[in-house]
């Protein structure tokens, strides 16, 4: 096979729904003649009309010339039988997510197209190995997983099953790159890269809500305003649909033989049972009726500016917050280290403001013998974040909480106080995302660079989870996981072997 499909090679797309139409649009824009098939009468013709309208709208916005839009639309040819794909170099199926239906289609295609034609599946989670099993030429079957909306989101997961020829995967990778996408290689395992590595983003938010650490609006606000995620976990689940999100979680959990790391949430299961599916049903975590008002996050009332701030330790979280406070006019003095606070801390009028390490604030207070402990959450960028979560130890004086809150507010940071929960919001989420990504790398699902690329470009994370863990400190991430495992006694927080090895050698996860 050639290193890449030239633009003159014909492409076939099967399925004229949102994904199939999007893939057809991408290929046509790249200069391919595209045969579009759907077994629903008239669906391919209607899809072409919608694509033409989309291209015309993009041309009106100056994305390309009107002539280019017309030419791209003209390259899409609705067809009404699989026999039309006989001259295609690449056929991409984007039909219903059902393994039996997809296997039947691939068997039918194998009779029609020559052996050199690549057969690609846009499946988001089904085994490429299983789809190719039993075919005469299983080496030409590969996953080509686009993300919705396909013309907008840049990521394409190129997924190899056990029988997929390396040359086939390389051709599809090069083709996706030629189409302006960001392809990554992955092996065929449950969830591939993104749908597996993203599970903790939802799972930790659901666990926090189940534990009543905070309400959904507060958790979402902290993820957005401190974590710099585009959407909060509950907003995103409502957008995806809780039925869809739960189904993906269950499929990964079952495929991994009920590994507790992927365990579904009873809270989400109850939502689905009640029909609270999200935006599409008008009610999910939030209500979406005409008169519905989205609840506001819990924000602490304004407290007086404290008189004194001192800082000890050089941990990135401590340093980041210290610099933010110094920028707000605090003369941050050098503080005396506290032996039990390995990550350092800030002393705010006698209150210890400590970066989250996966322990509760109460556990930290007991360890250091100081009752006035307030734990603060991770932020993607302490210099720019607009909100932080905190938790106070049991027995912490109100004046100490007020001092810590007042310092953050004086630096322009809104404060959301949570119940004293292990790991808070962003810290536990990022630690678990990094841990899952590290396991994916350990198991050869993808290399670290491709994993980080996939998470940034597939689900719009502000930073790849492995690179983020490196920025925090791999040892600190390991401590978060170990402390949460001890607190909950739950195997889902077990530390990835790669994290353990990097702690021992001082290496980076993203390398």
Residues 47 and 174 in one domain: yes
Residue 113 counted as domain residue? yes
Dist CA 4 CA 167 (whole Å): 10
Residue 443 counted as domain residue? no
Residue 298 counted as domain residue? no
Catalytic one among 35, 145, 185, 242? 145
> Using one digit for the tens of pLDDT, what is the confidence trace for 392-431?
999 999 999 999 999 999 999 999 999 999 999 999 999 9
Residues 150 and 181 in one domain: yes
> Using one digit for the tens of pLDDT, what is the confidence trace for 164-180?
999 999 999 999 999 99
Look up tokens 């650490």; give the residue: 213
Residue ending a domain, choose from 417, 442, 469 = 417
**Domain harbouring 92, CATH code:** 3.40.50.720
Total tally of structural domains belonging to the chain: 3
pLDDT at 28: 97
Residues 226 and 159 in one domain: no
Residues 379 and 331 in one domain: yes
Residues 43 and 149 in one domain: yes
Is 195 among the residues known to form the active site?
Answer: yes
> Using one digit for the tens of pLDDT, what is the confidence trace for 459-481?
999 999 999 999 999 999 999 99
Give the pTM.
0.94
pLDDT at 425: 98
Catalytic one among 122, 125, 188, 195? 195
User: Tokens standing for 506?
Assistant: 């001082």
Q: How confident is the model at residue 4 (pLDDT cuts 50, 70, 90)?
A: low
Residue 25 counted as domain residue? yes
Residues 34 and 129 in one domain: yes
> Using one digit for the tens of pLDDT, what is the confidence trace for 59-94?
999 999 999 999 999 999 999 999 999 999 999 999
Look up tokens 């390991």; give the residue: 478
pLDDT at 2: 41
Residue ending a domain, choose from 135, 155, 188 = 188
> Using one digit for the tens of pLDDT, what is the confidence trace for 130-171?
999 999 999 999 999 999 999 999 999 999 999 999 999 999
Residues 94 and 229 in one domain: no
Is 157 among the residues known to form the active site?
Answer: yes
Catalytic one among 124, 160, 251, 457? 124
Dist CA 166 CA 160 (whole Å): 8
Helix, strand, coil in percent for the chain, rounding step 5: 45, 15, 40
CA 136 remoteness from chain centre: 36
Dist CA 507 CA 501 (whole Å): 8
Residue 315 counted as domain residue? yes
Select from 350, 402, 385, 356 the least CA-distant residue to 371. 350
Select from 447, 491, 488 the least CA-distant residue to 466. 447
Residue 497 counted as domain residue? no
Is 270 among the residues known to form the active site?
Answer: no
Is 148 among the residues known to form the active site?
Answer: no
**Domain harbouring 231, CATH code:** 1.10.1040.50
Residues 175 and 33 in one domain: yes
Residue 391 counted as domain residue? yes
Select from 252, 284, 261, 283 the least CA-distant residue to 204. 261
What 8-state DSSP symbol labels residue 8?
A: T
pLDDT at 3: 55
User: Tokens standing for 57?
Assistant: 């709208």
Catalytic one among 93, 110, 157, 225? 157
Write out the residue range of the structural domain in which residue 381 sits: 309-417
Residues 129 and 155 in one domain: yes
Residue 179, classified by CB atoms within 10 Å of its CB into exposed (0-12), middle (13-18) or buried (19+), is buried
Residues 237 and 179 in one domain: no
What's the order of all strands across the beta sheet hosting 351-355? Answer: 333-334, 309-312, 345-348, 351-355, 373-376, 387-392, 414-417
**Domain harbouring 356, CATH code:** 3.30.750.190
Residues 263 and 314 in one domain: no
Residues 314 and 262 in one domain: no
The number of beta carbons lying within 10 Å of the beta carbon of residue 475 is 16
Residue 330 counted as domain residue? yes
Q: What is the DSSP code string of 208-235?
A: HHHTTSS-HHHHHHHHHHTT--SS-HHH
Dist CA 223 CA 377 (whole Å): 10
Dist CA 142 CA 312 (whole Å): 53
Residue ending a domain, choose from 188, 213, 232 = 188
């Amino acid at each position: 096979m050639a290193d890449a499909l030239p633009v003159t090679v014909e492409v076939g797309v099967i399925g004229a729904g949102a994904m199939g139409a999007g893939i057809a649009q991408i290929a046509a824009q790249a200069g391919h003649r595209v045969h579009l098939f759907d077994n629903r009468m008239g669906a391919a013709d209607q899809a072409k009309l919608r694509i033409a309208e989309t291209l015309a709208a993009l041309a009106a916005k100056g994305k390309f010339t009107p002539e280019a839009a017309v030419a791209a639309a003209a390259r899409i040819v609705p067809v009404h039988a699989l026999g039309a794909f006989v001259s295609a170099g690449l056929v991409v199926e984007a039909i219903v997510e059902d393994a039996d239906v997809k296997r039947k289609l691939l068997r039918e295609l194998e009779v029609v197209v020559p052996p050199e034609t690549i057969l690609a599946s846009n499946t988001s989670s089904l085994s490429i190995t299983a789809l190719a099993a039993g075919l005469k030429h299983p080496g030409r079957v590969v996953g080509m997983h686009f993300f919705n909306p396909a013309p907008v989101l840049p990521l394409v997961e190129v997924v190899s099953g056990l029988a997929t020829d390396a040359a086939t995967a390389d051709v599809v990778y090069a083709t996706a790159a030629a189409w302006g996408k960001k392809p990554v290689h992955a092996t065929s395992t449950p969830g591939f890269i993104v749908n597996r590595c993203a599970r903790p983003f939802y799972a930790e938010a659901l666990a926090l809500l189940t534990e009543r650490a905070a309400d959904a609006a507060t958790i979402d606000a902290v993820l957005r305003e401190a974590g710099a995620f585009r959407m909060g976990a509950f907003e995103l689940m409502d957008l995806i649909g809780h039925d869809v999100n739960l189904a993906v979680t269950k499929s990964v959990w079952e495929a991994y033989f009920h590994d507790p790391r992927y365990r579904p949430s009873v809270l989400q299961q109850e939502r689905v049972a009640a029909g609270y599916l999200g935006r599409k049903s008008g009610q999910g975590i939030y209500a979406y009726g005409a008169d519905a008002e989205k609840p506001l996050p819990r924000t602490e009332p304004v407290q007086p500016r404290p008189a004194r701030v001192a800082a000890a330790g050089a941990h990135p979280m401590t340093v980041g917050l210290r610099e933010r406070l110094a920028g707000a006019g605090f003369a941050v003095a050098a503080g005396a280290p506290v032996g039990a606070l390995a990550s350092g801390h800030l002393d705010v009028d006698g209150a210890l403001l400590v970066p989250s390490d996966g322990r509760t604030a109460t556990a930290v207070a007991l360890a250091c013998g100081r009752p006035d402990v307030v734990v603060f959450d991770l932020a993607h960028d302490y210099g720019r974040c607009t909100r932080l979560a905190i938790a106070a130890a049991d027995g912490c004086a109100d004046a100490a909480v007020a001092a810590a809150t007042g310092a953050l507010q004086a630096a322009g940071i809104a404060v959301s106080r949570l119940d004293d929960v292990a790991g808070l919001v962003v810290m536990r989420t990022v630690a678990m995302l990094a841990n899952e990504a590290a396991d994916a790398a350990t198991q050869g699902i993808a290399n670290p660079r491709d994993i980080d690329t996939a998470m940034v470009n597939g689900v719009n994370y502000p930073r790849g989870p492995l690179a983020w863990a490196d920025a925090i400190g791999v040892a600190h991430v390991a401590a978060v996981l170990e402390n949460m495992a001890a607190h909950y006694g739950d195997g889902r927080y077990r530390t990835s072997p790669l994290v353990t090895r990097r702690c021992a050698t001082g290496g980076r996860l993203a390398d």
